[in-house]
Chains A and B, each alone.
Chain A
């Protein structure tokens, strides 16, 4: 049995390349599986496509059936209609235990851009489910992906890799926002500007149940796009003060070169807020809110990138310490997995060899006991045991060699040799 993964990820390829190689919709993925079934009919295949990685796992009974690196690269090029030279250097390959270790690391989020992030588990699970639905899996990929999900659960429970948030938006919402507000589904969120950070923060706020989203941006077109994507509405920029009065959460990410909200302006807003708490995330660089705004009133909780980054850094530091523990665990699980795989590969040959030799032993003992009728039961038992020991001792060297070879990978050559030398049928 052979395993391989051919992939590009955030370590090896730029976002522009990953985007072109990605299978961004279910239809595209289904079409990819149809094509893969034609190109590599003897392989079990699972495709994992996220914003940070595109990976193709393949497993096959014999090494001769394995698709080559070039064949897979050509598949990507043909399927996505991209010139091979645009990405071939970004495409990496791992085989055997390295491929298993790679998937275990990916699923456990050791290989993630944001270390310990939880989304990857569901992404791997979904990729596996899609492969199952497309009849692309087999015994080895089933064992591999089920094992990966199990290892991921172990890493999450036995290490602190997932503890503490590490992105600005997640720290802002998870560590501070949730300490101010109990729930977000009854809160009004105001987005000023429509940058990437606003979008990421909105993702976390949406996960917390936010329903009322107002986007205010100098460019109405971008505001409308963002509002449409997240189920919000837009307001013109000149109504900003009214929106500030109504909002419970304010996320500001404008590209302004100086603060757009100063103390006198926000003071006027506060007078109309009747003491309601307001959580302000100033994610602009330079800042959109004058820092002194946070000190006007006890009900204002103002956070800028610097104050959030300190918490992110501390959490990242804690997670890095846990990588070593996670990797030891993954190494242990990889060895176990490979041992099971090789045992499954060599098991049938060992079984057949033992059965055939012991059949011969039994036949010979029967023949001997018929011939030597003067022997009593005790003598026959001694002879039986003696011959059994001889057979076991003769079997020991080849089986030991097979076991040792199996530690390095499936010993196809040795298995074939044993089958031919001892006429072992399949």
Chain B
């Protein structure tokens, strides 16, 4: 069990992704079963890895490091993929969702697996208000999962829209949700994720204020804190626009979601990579 590495589940997800692509070329019933088995095996390895990490650091994965935090995010996305694909055999969700999972896992390679500064210094976490830190991290991870879901739904929407405009039928008995449903789910993903991110941000500020009384205060001038605040603001503007627009046009919403969510994901992940940098590569197993 302790030999489980990131490569184990990354390889499983790559196999599942390859099989998802193969479904578009030729539908063989065994293909889907192997694909699900590969993804499920990957998720088991993924879970074991996170548990091992948690055991090593003595903290929940959400708090132990940015590396673990990103892997938890990928784990949540894989869980959603497995559930939805098992329930709906015609839905080629993996083509859209697994690249995000693979991207997150690969990016986790480049971020620090040391104590997570974005949720507070280790000392702060170990202090009495560690519950607030956990809440902050949990809200952020669920908020960003919503952002990932919104992003993927928008990509699906644009693909479906293009297909319908070009009069192309779906191949091999596969089916994507209707534009109407995709637009509705997309809207729901944004509407759910922005309040979660907002609450996460508020708890972050609260923790920052609490830390001022301790020996390791969090600086609000930290580039990560500032950039997180900016992307949150962008999402908030998008959220308000979505609620204020009486009848938003689906394709416009999809593009805006892609830009807003993409901006959020790229900003957060690239900042972590830039600050985590080489140190992570040296310590990562």
Any B CB within 8 A of the CB of A277: yes
Any A CB within 8 A of the CB of B213: no
Interface residues on A, range: 20 to 34
- The residue on A at minimum CB distance from B161 is A298
- CB distance A178 to B178 under 8 Å? yes
Q: Say how far B281's CB is from chain A's closest CB, in angstroms.
A: 44
- The residue on B at minimum CB distance from A294 is B165
- The residue on A at minimum CB distance from B184 is A182
The stretch of B41-49, B50-58, B74-82, B243-251 in contact with A is B243-251
Q: Say how far B88's CB is from chain A's closest CB, in angstroms.
A: 14
Q: Say how far A269's CB is from chain B's closest CB, in angstroms.
A: 16
B interface size (C-beta, 8 A): 23
Any B CB within 8 A of the CB of A311: yes
Any B CB within 8 A of the CB of A303: yes
Any B CB within 8 A of the CB of A314: yes
Residues in A with CB closer than 8 Å to B163 are 179
| Residues of B118-168 contacting chain A, CB below 8 A | 160-161, 163-165, 167
- CB distance A180 to B167 under 8 Å? no
- CB distance B165 to A301 under 8 Å? yes
- CB distance B180 to A277 under 8 Å? yes
Most chain A CB within 10 A, of B169, B178, B249, B250, is at: B169
- CB distance A301 to B164 under 8 Å? yes
Any A CB within 8 A of the CB of B91: no
Any B CB within 8 A of the CB of A274: yes
Residues in B with CB closer than 8 Å to A182 are 177-178, 180-181, 184
A307 to B168, CA, bound (A): 9
| Residues of A24-59 contacting chain B, CB below 8 A | none
- CB distance A179 to B178 under 8 Å? yes
Any B CB within 8 A of the CB of A398: no
- The residue on B at minimum CB distance from A315 is B169
- The residue on B at minimum CB distance from A171 is B169
Scan B156-200; emit 1 where CB is below 8 A from any A CB, else 0. 000011011101011001011111110010000000000000000
Residues in B with CB closer than 8 Å to A299 are 249-251
Scan A371-382; emit 1 where CB is below 8 A from any B CB, else 0. 000000000000
Q: Say how far B164's CB is from chain A's closest CB, in angstroms.
A: 5
Q: Say how far A212's CB is from chain B's closest CB, in angstroms.
A: 16
- CB distance A310 to B167 under 8 Å? yes
Q: Say how far A285's CB is from chain B's closest CB, in angstroms.
A: 17
A303 to B246, CA, bound (A): 28
- CB distance B164 to A180 under 8 Å? yes
Any B CB within 8 A of the CB of A275: yes
Residues in A with CB closer than 8 Å to B161 are 298
- CB distance A277 to B179 under 8 Å? yes
Q: Say how far B148's CB is from chain A's closest CB, in angstroms.
A: 23
Any B CB within 8 A of the CB of A181: yes
Q: Say how far B205's CB is from chain A's closest CB, in angstroms.
A: 38
- CB distance A276 to B165 under 8 Å? no
Any B CB within 8 A of the CB of A163: yes
Residues in A with CB closer than 8 Å to B169 are 171, 175-176, 311, 314-315
Residues in B with CB closer than 8 Å to A171 are 169
A340 to B200, CA, bound (A): 72
Q: Say how far A172's CB is from chain B's closest CB, in angstroms.
A: 10
A423 to B160, CA, bound (A): 77
A179 to B170, CA, bound (A): 10
A311 to B165, CA, bound (A): 14
A299 to B251, CA, bound (A): 8
A276 to B251, CA, bound (A): 11
A274 to B163, CA, bound (A): 23
Residues in B with CB closer than 8 Å to A310 are 167
- The residue on B at minimum CB distance from A311 is B169
- CB distance B160 to A163 under 8 Å? no
| Residues of B55-112 contacting chain A, CB below 8 A | none
- CB distance A298 to B160 under 8 Å? no
A316 to B106, CA, bound (A): 44
A301 to B167, CA, bound (A): 9
Residues in B with CB closer than 8 Å to A294 are 165
Residues in B with CB closer than 8 Å to A301 are 164-165
A65 to B151, CA, bound (A): 73
Residues in B with CB closer than 8 Å to A163 are 173
A219 to B251, CA, bound (A): 39
Known: A179-B160, A182-B180, A182-B184. A303 touches B167 (CB 8 A): yes
Residues in A with CB closer than 8 Å to B251 are 298-299
Residues in B with CB closer than 8 Å to A164 are 173
Known: A163-B173, A175-B170, A314-B169. A180 touches B249 (CB 8 A): no
A217 to B248, CA, bound (A): 33
Residues in A with CB closer than 8 Å to B176 are 179
Q: Which of A179, A303, A307, A315 contacts B179 (CB 8 A)?
A: A179
- CB distance A307 to B167 under 8 Å? yes
A303 to B175, CA, bound (A): 19
A175 to B165, CA, bound (A): 13
Residues in B with CB closer than 8 Å to A307 are 167
- CB distance B167 to A181 under 8 Å? no
Known: A175-B170, A314-B169. A275 touches B178 (CB 8 A): no
A425 to B112, CA, bound (A): 94
Most chain A CB within 10 A, of B161, B175, B180, B251, is at: B180
| Residues of B200-255 contacting chain A, CB below 8 A | 246-251
- CB distance A180 to B180 under 8 Å? yes
- The residue on B at minimum CB distance from A177 is B178
Q: Say how far A289's CB is from chain B's closest CB, in angstroms.
A: 14
Closest 9 pairs between A and B when the two form their complex, measured CB to CB = A307-B167, A275-B249, A182-B180, A182-B181, A311-B169, A182-B178, A298-B251, A175-B169, A274-B247
30 contacts between A and B (CB under 8 A): A175-B169, A176-B167, A179-B163, A179-B164, A179-B170, A179-B175, A179-B176, A179-B178, A180-B178, A180-B179, A180-B180, A181-B178, A181-B179, A182-B177, A274-B247, A275-B247, A275-B248, A277-B250, A294-B165, A298-B250, A298-B251, A299-B249, A299-B251, A301-B164, A301-B165, A307-B167, A308-B167, A310-B167, A314-B169, A315-B169
Using a CB–CB distance below 8 Å, which chain A residues touch chain B? Answer: 163-164, 171, 175-176, 178-183, 274-277, 294, 298-299, 301, 303, 307-308, 310-311, 314-315
Using a CB–CB distance below 8 Å, which chain B residues touch chain A? Answer: 160-161, 163-165, 167, 169-170, 173, 175-181, 184, 246-251
